[in-house]
């Protein structure tokens, strides 16, 4: 894979092809497995995803969630218990036979598309009293859905995520969990992964199956479409009644729990990170999740120079590692320094150190930022401190750059033709007003070639002042509209 050439298209001219090339040439995934929607994850992507998991798991556990691992299969009878959730049957893979003789199973099993119908039967066994509540769980796992259209790290038939499932004694406790989920999203998606987002309450016709209300973070991709990242769902008592998840309260009366679930999709978030931050040279990784902070590239012209420079490079590496900086030396002799520069730029490593014969004499190195390409000369003595400063700067710069793009592609219109023109030609997120009728939502989506009502901003009270952008009747909600992945 190291022999592959760099990116051959511009991100601004052909985003789709650019994205595919980055996934392949930055050695994130191999799409040649031969089963649609199933990706071979290469080491660079796995290392990034492990760091992403770590950040989200840490936040969940800080807020009282405990890690569990539930089975991957669901008896069909469980999947059908919650009426609305049973609609997921159209999206699942089925296990129907087992053993060398392909013996037909007594009941077919679904590979989990999500785990409510796995977890709530267990909650019904574990929860007996108010003393058992709240019960806050999460698992880091894979799920499977029979998607018709697939794209690596954006939409697949097998994808990686974290799902948190929680039970509370009161409705208020469950609603506070939704607010907590928004804060966890802020701490991870925004502060660590450098992705700005808008958090919406989805309209009734677009909520999670079986939920009372759905809330989700939408990020804006470079092609002007939004991608749904973490979503959280207030499930009310729908699942607790279906699976008899009850408890005896302090007043000695039996009641049903109130529940929520939260789904940070690691897979899709990684796709958004690559898409939003990358440039024509390849990926640009936020320092918080990059497997390496620094790549050291020795520059030499003879064997004697190689020996001296490698001695110095190893000393620098040890010093940086002592300062908790993730660093590697690319000492491969079969590739030129220029080839190595391009290779590590393609993979998105935040900083590069160049060391040549002159640098050894002057006790300095050349430090290069991936996000801007800017080079500076740094004395060895102050290198760890300078690197940490630059990593913080890169992290913040990626946030600011993505925020600027989001702001420049967020509009407010009250005329349908303007709405249509923006979505079809420029893309972005359009604030407008809606009567609340699903017929209007469907017409808007059809006539804008995919513009969906994403919902109302979470935690923001906005009263409509004009008519519905489509039918011209009384508007009931101020909503955002965008095309989606």
Residues 42 and 155 both lie in one domain:
yes
In a domain, 405, yes or no: no
CB neighbours of 13 closer than 8 A, spacing ≥ 6? none
DSSP of 303-321? HHHHHHHHHHHHHHHHHHH
In a domain, 356, yes or no: yes
Q: What gap in Å lies between CA 352 and CA 329, rounded to an integer? A: 10
Strand 29-30 and strand 375-379: pairing?
A: unpaired
Residues 147 and 267 both lie in one domain:
yes
CB neighbours of 246 closer than 8 A, spacing ≥ 6? 124, 127, 240, 254, 255, 256, 257
395-406 burial, b if ≥16 CB within 10 A, otherwise e?
Answer: bebbbebbeebb
Q: Which of 372, 374, 464, 480 is nearest to 430 (CA)?
A: 480
**What pLDDT, on the 0 to 100 scale, is given for residue 4?**
57
- Domain tally, the chain: 3
Question: How many C-beta neighbours within 10 Å does residue 368 have?
Answer: 22
Q: Calculate helix-pair angle for 43-62, 266-277, nearest 10 degrees.
A: 120
Q: What gap in Å lies between CA 203 and CA 473, rounded to an integer? A: 18
Q: What gap in Å lies between CA 74 and CA 71, rounded to an integer? A: 8
Q: Which of 242, 277, 312 delimits the end of a domain?
A: 277
Q: What is the CATH number of the domain that holds 354?
A: 3.40.50.800
DSSP-assigned letter for residue 380: G
Question: How many C-beta neighbours within 10 Å does residue 389 have?
Answer: 11
Residues 137 and 225 both lie in one domain:
yes
Q: List per-block mean pLDDT (blocks of 10 residues) for the chain, which spans 485 residues.
A: 76 97 97 94 98 98 98 93 74 93 94 95 98 98 95 96 98 98 98 98 94 97 97 96 97 98 97 98 98 97 94 97 98 95 98 96 96 97 97 98 97 96 94 97 96 96 94 97 96
Residues 246 and 299 both lie in one domain:
no
Residues 230 and 264 both lie in one domain:
yes
Residues 75 and 116 both lie in one domain:
yes
Q: What is the CATH number of the domain that holds 233?
A: 3.30.930.10
Length of the chain in residues, anyone?
485
Q: What gap in Å lies between CA 336 and CA 343, rounded to an integer? A: 11
Residues 366 and 417 both lie in one domain:
no
Q: What angle do CA 286, 291, 295 make, to 5 degrees?
A: 90
Spatial contact of 70 and 163, defined as CB atoms under 8 Å apart: no
Residues 374 and 319 both lie in one domain:
yes
**What pLDDT, on the 0 to 100 scale, is given for residue 481?**
98
pTM: 0.95
Name the phi and psi angles at 276, rounded to 5.
-75, -40
Hey, is 231 helix, strand or coil? strand
Q: Which long-range contacts (CB under 8 A, 24 or more apart) does 228-231 make?
A: 228/268, 228/484, 228/485, 229/185, 229/189, 229/195, 229/197, 229/264, 229/265, 229/268, 229/269, 229/272, 230/181, 230/184, 230/185, 230/189, 230/262, 230/263, 230/264, 230/265, 230/269, 231/262, 231/263
Spatial contact of 258 and 209, defined as CB atoms under 8 Å apart: no
Strand 226-236 and strand 158-168: pairing?
A: unpaired
CB neighbours of 479 closer than 8 A, spacing ≥ 6? 203, 431, 432, 433, 434, 453, 454, 455, 456
Name the phi and psi angles at 217, rounded to 5.
-95, 125
In a domain, 85, yes or no: yes
Spatial contact of 394 and 449, defined as CB atoms under 8 Å apart: no
Q: How far is CA 96 from the centre of its chain?
A: 32
* Torsion (CA) 306, 309, 315, 316 in degrees, nearest 10: -130
Q: What gap in Å lies between CA 328 and CA 336, rounded to an integer? A: 17
Q: What gap in Å lies between CA 223 and CA 409, rounded to an integer? A: 11
Residues 219 and 300 both lie in one domain:
no
Question: How many C-beta neighbours within 10 Å does residue 384 have?
Answer: 17
Residues 140 and 244 both lie in one domain:
yes
Residues 476 and 427 both lie in one domain:
yes
CB neighbours of 80 closer than 8 A, spacing ≥ 6? 86, 89
Domain encompassing residue 462: 410-482
CB neighbours of 269 closer than 8 A, spacing ≥ 6? 52, 189, 193, 195, 229, 230
In a domain, 357, yes or no: yes
Give the distance between the most distant pair of CA atoms in the chain. 84
Spatial contact of 274 and 153, defined as CB atoms under 8 Å apart: yes
Q: How far is CA 410 from the centre of its chain?
A: 21
Residues 269 and 313 both lie in one domain:
no
In a domain, 65, yes or no: yes
Q: How far is CA 312 from the centre of its chain?
A: 39
Q: What is the CATH number of the domain that holds 431?
A: 3.30.110.30
Q: Which of 222, 205, 260 is nearest to 238 (CA)?
A: 260
Q: Which secondary structure element, helix H or strand E, spans residue 333, and what is its range?
A: none
In a domain, 196, yes or no: yes
């Amino acid at each position: 894979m190291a022999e592959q050439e760099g990116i051959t298209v511009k991100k601004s001219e052909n985003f789709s092809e650019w994205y595919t090339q980055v996934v392949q040439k930055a050695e994130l995934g191999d799409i040649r497995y031969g089963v649609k929607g199933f990706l071979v994850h290469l080491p660079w992507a796995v290392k990034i995803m492990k760091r992403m998991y770590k950040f989200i798991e840490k936040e969940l556990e800080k807020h009282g969630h405990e890690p569990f691992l539930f089975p991957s299969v669901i008896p069909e009878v469980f999947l059908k218990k919650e009426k609305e959730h049973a609609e997921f049957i159209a999206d699942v893979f089925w296990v129907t036979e087992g053993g060398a003789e392909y013996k037909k199973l007594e009941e077919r099993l679904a590979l989990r598309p999500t785990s409510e119908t796995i977890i709530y039967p267990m909650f019904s066994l574990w929860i007996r009293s108010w003393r058992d509540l709240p019960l806050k769980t999460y698992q880091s796992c894979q799920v499977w859905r029979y998607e018709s259209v697939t794209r690596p790290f954006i939409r697949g038939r097998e994808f990686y995520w974290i799902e948190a499932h929680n039970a509370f004694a009161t409705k208020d406790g469950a609603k506070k969990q939704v607010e907590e989920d928004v804060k966890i999203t802020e701490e991870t998606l925004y502060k660590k992964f450098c992705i700005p987002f808008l958090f919406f309450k989805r309209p009734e016709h677009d909520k999670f199956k079986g939920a009372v209300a759905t809330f989700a973070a939408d990020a804006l991709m470079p092609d002007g479409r939004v991608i749904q990242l973490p979503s959280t769902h207030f499930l009310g008592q729908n699942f607790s009644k279906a699976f008899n998840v009850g408890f005896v309260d302090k007043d000695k009366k039996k009641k049903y729990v109130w529940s929520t679930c939260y789904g940070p999709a690691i897979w899709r978030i990684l796709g958004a990170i690559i898409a939003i931050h990358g440039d024509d040279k390849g990926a640009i990784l936020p320092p918080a999740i990059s497997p390496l902070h620094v790549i050291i590239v020795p520059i030499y012209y003879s064997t004697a120079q190689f020996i001296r420079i490698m001695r110095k490079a190893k000393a620098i590496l040890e010093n940086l590692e002592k300062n908790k900086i993730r660093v590697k030396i690319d000492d491969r002799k079969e590739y030129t320094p220029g080839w190595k520069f391009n290779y590590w730029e393609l993979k998105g490593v935040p900083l590069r150190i160049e060391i040549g014969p002159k640098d050894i004499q002057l006790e300095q190195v050349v430090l290069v930022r991936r996000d801007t390409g800017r080079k500076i000369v740094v004395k060895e003595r102050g290198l760890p401190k300078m690197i940490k400063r630059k990593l913080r700067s890169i992290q913040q710069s990626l946030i600011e750059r993505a925020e600027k793009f989001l702001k420049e592609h967020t509009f407010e219109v009250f005329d349908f033709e303007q709405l249509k023109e923006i979505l079809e030609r420029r893309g972005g997120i359009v604030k407008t007003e809606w009567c609340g009728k699903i017929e209007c939502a469907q017409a808007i989506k059809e006539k804008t070639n995919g513009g969906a009502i994403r919902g109302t901003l979470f935690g923001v009270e906005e009263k409509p002042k004009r008519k519905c952008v489509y039918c011209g009747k009384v508007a009931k909600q101020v909503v955002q509209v965008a095309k989606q992945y």
